[in-house]
Structure 1
Amino acid sequence: MKILTVVGARPQFIKAAPVSRAIRKQADEILVHTGQHYDKSMSDVFFSELHIPVPDYHLHVGSKSHGAQTGEMLSRIEEVILKEKPDCLLVYGDTNSTLAGALAASKLHVPVAHVEAGLRSFNKRMPEEINRILTDHVSEWLFCPTQTAVNHLATEGIRRGVHLVGDVMMDAVQYNSRLANEKSGILKELNIKTGEYILITLHRAENTDDPARLSQIISALNELPLPAVLPLHPRTKGKMAQMGLAITNPNVKLIEPVGYLDMLQLEVNAKKILTDSGGVQKEAFFAKVPCITMRDETEWTETVELGANLLVGADQSKILDAVDNFTVDFTRMKDVFGDGRASEKITDQLLKDLG
């Protein structure tokens, strides 16, 4: 059996690592990297750190408008599919790489497996929402991380091929936490102490592409009273420069993007996490660190319902109030993201169905 896996962005490298390990024990995998994240610090380091095999194909698509980027990926992935003739194509999450891979395969009658299916923000202004909806509707296998995701698919009339497997991010965190403790020296390098800093991530297009929202967020960061660390995404850095915005608060330490093991260490040891990332919201939950999400909605509604995650939008006053006052009792949390064996369940289901 041959599985063709398409990845292209940082969160997908993390998700693909445990699944690829499981697949390669029992089947052949061809790995395609679209190059959606083209910066070395955002891409190559993840492959070496997470022991992901070198991609069989690197498409080097890079940064473009949504239409141009997705179109070029679609054409290039189609060429790979025609050459490799896989039994199925596996995609992750909600990026342009995900959509391009799913469309290319479905038009060539290659069945699609979607890991992290069924997530919904119900905000179709987000390109990620469009990507995930379209991918779900052309997929043969829909591997859901939570019961909420299963319910969303059922509401849309999708019941065939739906499998509740748990969250592959939990697999990744469990596998890599020990490695991070052994190998990461990021706290010492940055001269920060456990539980005494806020970790910030900021990259979502709904924030960075909207001058009003980005201005509110930067204003809030410039008033943070506690030490903070912000690994600055290249795209965010560019947007800030374009809009004439800057971090002037001496409490906020700007650093280059970090590898996954360093990021895990920063998350686990933070006092609070301030983010607009979907993956970081979950990792904060796994790390038992209060999460403040700078969005108006989230796909990970379970974290909000359980009281571990607070949505503050791009409102300066709400952000600062949450930094000061939001607390979480993690001793009362339910386990809603599975048992850490999602990768094995995905692989076993594909092997069973493909024979």
Structure 2
Amino acid sequence: MKILTVVGARPQFIKAAAVSNIIRKHHSEILVHTGQHYDENMSKVFFEELNIPKPDYNLGVGSGSHGKQTGTMLIKLEEVYEKEKPDFVLVYGDTNSTLAGALCASKLLIPVAHVEAGLRSFNMEMPEEQNRVLTDHISNILFVPTKSAEKNLKDEGIKKGVYNVGDVMFDAILNFKKLARSRSEIIEELDLEGKEYILTTIHRAENTDHIDKLSNIVGALNECGKTVVLPLHPRTRKYMLNYGLEFSENVKVTDPVGYLEMINLEMNSQKIVTDSGGVQKEAFFMRKPCITMREETEWVETVENGWNKIVGTDREKILDAVLNFIPSREQKNIFGDGSASSKILEILDKR
């Protein structure tokens, strides 16, 4: 069986690290990197430290408008698909690479398998929501991570080919947590040894592209009086310069870090403040209180379980949560047993 996997962004590299390792023990895999994330700290370092196979194709699409980026991917992916003739195309998550990978395969009548299907924020203004909804509706096999994702698909009339396998990012955490502990250099470099700190990530366009929202986030972090560690996304850095925003001395700004360094920072943090879907889950896996700077989340289970607080971009709400939020109950196991990757392969074998 030949499986063609499409990745293009940092969260997908992490998921592919878990699944590709299983696939390649039994079958042929063609790995295509669209080049959506092309910065070395956002891309190359992930392949190296997670031992992900070198991509068979790097399309080098780079940045651009949603239409230009997706359209360029479609053109280049079509050439690869027609040459390789895979049995399945495997896509992950909710990026432009996900939609392009699925749509191109669907047009060529190649079965599409979507990992992390069924997630919904119910905010169609988010590009990620558009991508995940459209991808789900043209996929033949839908691997959902949670019961709520399964219900979302059922509510939209998608009942065939749906499999609840658990979360592949949980697989990745279990696989790499021990290795991440050896990457303590980041703790030493930032002088965090023995200190309580807040780990923060900010990257979503809905926050970075609006001066009032980004100003509120920066203001709350500056005012909290706690040590804040912020690996700064290139987009966020650009908009901060455009808006003339600066962090105070309590915020330690770094370049983007590798996955293992990020896990290390998460493990040693007091709380996590983010607008990232993946980091919300990782906070849950690490048993860290999470504060989400969005109006909604796809990972509703983390909120219902009391370990994630949605605060939007209101300055006072962010500040209050940073200072006062603590989980309200014991965690439940809601993301599977850490064997999602093996279950995915078993199902593809049967199909």
Aligned match of 1:323: 322
Q: 1:329, CA displacement in angstroms?
A: 5.4
Q: Using the alignment, how far apart are the partners of 1:184 and 1:57 within structure 2?
A: 33
- Equivalenced residue count is 351
More deviation in 165-174 or 214-223?
214-223
Offset at residue 183 of structure 1 (A): 3.4
The one-letter amino acid of 1:277's match is S
**Secondary structure at 1:345's aligned position in 2?**
helix
Would the alpha carbon gap of residues 325 and 259 (structure 1) be closer, same or farther in structure 2, given more than 3 Å must change?
Answer: same
SS class of match (1:200): strand
Q: Which SS does the other structure have where 1:62 is aligned?
A: coil
Match of 1:41 in 2: 41
User: Residue 138 of structure 2 aligns with which residue?
Assistant: 138
State the secondary structure of the residue aligned to 2:109: coil
Inter-CA distance 213–310: structure 2 relative to 1 (3 Å threshold): same
Q: 1:224 offset after TM fit, Å?
A: 2.2
Alignment map for 1:233-312 (pairs within 5 Å): 233-247=233-247, 249-312=248-311
For residues 274 and 198 of structure 1, the distance between their equivalents in structure 2, rounded to whole angstroms, comes to 7
Summarize the alignment of residues 323-342 of structure 1 with structure 2, pairs less than 5 Å apart.
Answer: 323-328=322-327, 332-342=330-340
Q: Write the letter of the residue equivalent to 1:334.
A: K
**Displacement of 1:173:** 0.3
Q: CA deviation at 1:184?
A: 3.6
Which residue matches 1:22?
A: 22
CA RMSD between the two structures: 0.9
Give 1:100 shift: 0.4
The aligned amino acid for 2:334 is: V
Within 5 A, what are the aligned runs for 1:102-113? 102-113=102-113
Distance 1:80 1:106 in 2: 14
For the 8 Å contact 2:165–2:344, the answer to whether it is kept is: yes
2:85 maps to: 85
AA aligned opposite 1:281: Q
Q: Structure 1 segments of 4 or more deviating over 3 A? A: none
TM-score by length of 1: 0.97
Normalised TM-score (structure 2): 0.99
The aligned amino acid for 1:132 is R
Task: Name the amino acid aligned to 1:124.
Answer: M
Q: Distance in 2 between matches of 1:178 and 1:72?
A: 39
Partner SS state of residue 182, structure 2: helix
Counterparts of 1:98 and 1:336, CA distance in 2: 25
Displacement of 1:241: 1.2
1:195 Cα offset (Å): 5.9
Distance between the aligned counterparts of 1:135 and 1:48, measured in 2? 29
Q: Deviations 1:105-131 (Å, cap 9, x if unpaired)?
A: 000000100000000000001000000
AA matched with 1:222: N
Alpha-carbon displacement from aligned partner over 1:134-164 (angstroms, at most 9, x marks no partner):
0000000000000000000000000000000
CA apart distance, 1:188? 1.1
Question: Where does structure 1 lack aligned partners over 5 or more consecutive residues?
Answer: none
SS at structure 2 position matched to 1:40: coil
